[in-house]
Amino acid sequence: MKELSTEARRQILDSIRTVPDFPKPGIEFKDITTLLGKPEIFDLLMDHLEARYEGYDLDYVAGIDARGFIFGSILADRLNVGFVPVRKKGKLPYTTVSEKYSLEYGFDEVEIHIDAFGHNGCQSNGKTSRVLLIDDLIATGGTAVAASRLINRIGATCVEACFIIELTFLNGKEGISAPVYSVLT
């Protein structure tokens, strides 16, 4: 597995804008749109992720709504595997399975199609689908924990959860049912 150099990490980190007091006072929002607007840095990141996951024997990459769709779909294409969107409740048109997670004040839900990873999470050859979960950032981890549970609940295996940025002081990776890899912490 290819390691990301200190210089490459610095370039990626420097390409991400921090927006103070968004979406509310006291929050420092990590804005990845500036990373997306720098093709040479974005390509560096995607090359790293491709090199990391090319030997994982994946069947799918599942991206969390909405920024996980960007990284997940591109990575799935590079790895020649399927892409599955993990959506907010009510956004998918077919039969779904959903998982609730806690918010600061209440609950929310994410869902996937019941057949997203094949019949009962298996490929046509009977092999259990191997899935990488990806998103841009992990903070408190509610959405990621719910998404990893969904993958496993329908019979697939979440082999790893990947995040571009991890806010380690929030301990968000606790409860994720798979190893966690974060490009930046």
Q: How far apart are CA 17 and CA 88, in angstroms?
A: 25
Residues with a catalytic annotation lie at 67, 104
Which pLDDT tens digits describe the chain residue by residue (185 residues)? Answer: 578 999 999 999 999 999 999 999 999 999 999 999 999 999 999 999 999 999 999 999 999 999 999 999 999 999 999 999 999 999 999 999 999 998 767 789 999 999 999 988 888 888 999 999 999 999 999 999 999 999 999 999 999 999 999 999 999 999 998 999 999 99
What domains lie within the chain, and their CATH numbers?
57-184 (3.40.50.2020)
Task: From 152, 151, 141, select the one nearest 175 (Cα to Cα).
Answer: 141
Angle between helices 39-53 and 6-14 (to 10 degrees): 130
Whole-model pTM?
Answer: 0.96
